[in-house]
Structure 1
Amino acid sequence: MEKVTITNDELMKYAVELTNLSQQAKVLKRLAETVEYARVTGDDFSLKYQINSGLLGEIGDSLEILEKDIQRISNEICPD
């Protein structure tokens, strides 16, 4: 494994990026919980609205972006 030197400024930059990604993940989790709550409680109107609005696709797209950003940061911190 190649040794990488990271400055404190770079570490701070990565920490800020990871914190932002964590916040995005929390929002996505809350959206998924809202869909699940509508399903569990039998709120068909809300459930159908959320599904038909494309929310699940948007959640999936956002998760893919999160995955790529986390992998990018990981690669910058510890390249293969």
Structure 2
Amino acid sequence: MIHHLEQITPTGVYFTSLSFKKDEITIHATANTSTSLTLFTNNLKTSKYLSDVSITNLLRDVSGTGALKFQIVTSVKSSISGDETQP
């Protein structure tokens, strides 16, 4: 699954933490632009491995960079959550 996330993460999005809990993934990350965040969110929503993608926290960095700090929670689709051969 980590390899899949790496493949669908656009330039300008950087993970600060990643956690897995049963069939749920929580991603804390920073996006350089709102375009990068939108592309990443769309990539997650169209992933064949993930469902129920939601941004649960979004903050604009006020230090002048304009970066967006966010948290996304998503579910691993049940058809693959028990499959040890997943990407």
Which protein is richer in helix relative to its size? 1
Report which of the two structures shows the higher radius of gyration computed on alpha carbons. Answer: 1
Higher relative contact order (Cα pairs below 8 Å, separated by 6+ residues): 1
TM-score by length of 2: 0.30
TM-score by length of 1: 0.32
Which protein is richer in strand relative to its size? 2
